[in-house]
Structure 1
Amino acid sequence: MDETARITLRLPIDLHEWLVDQAKSVRRSLNSEIVYRLEVERDAAAADAESP
């Protein structure tokens, strides 16, 4: 990831707490966890688009 963009993200408290817990369980920062999950979803969507 060479270039980045900074955003402000508003999350429901319960979703934020869940993401924090998930990030801690795999020893990632909250930011890294969000980026990881978005990349996984993007890759899955791209794979689905390529499927017949």
Structure 2
Amino acid sequence: DIELSTLREQVTSKGGTTAEAIRTFNEHQLSDIIAKAMQAAVLRAQEMEKLF
């Protein structure tokens, strides 16, 4: 098995479009945004479960 970060490094050209997108994601804490969105979805699912 290969680490995700290693795979990304192997397929991302330095200075390329994907590298720039990843840099921007990191700069704007995309992983934090995704985590918050997932938490909100779980909470909403729990609320909806009580309705049905």
Give the TM interval when normalised to the shorter protein.
Answer: 0.3 to 0.5
More helix as a share of residues = 2
Provide the TM-score with structure 2 as the length reference: 0.46
Please tell me whether Structure 1 or Structure 2 has the larger radius of gyration of its CA atoms. Answer: 2
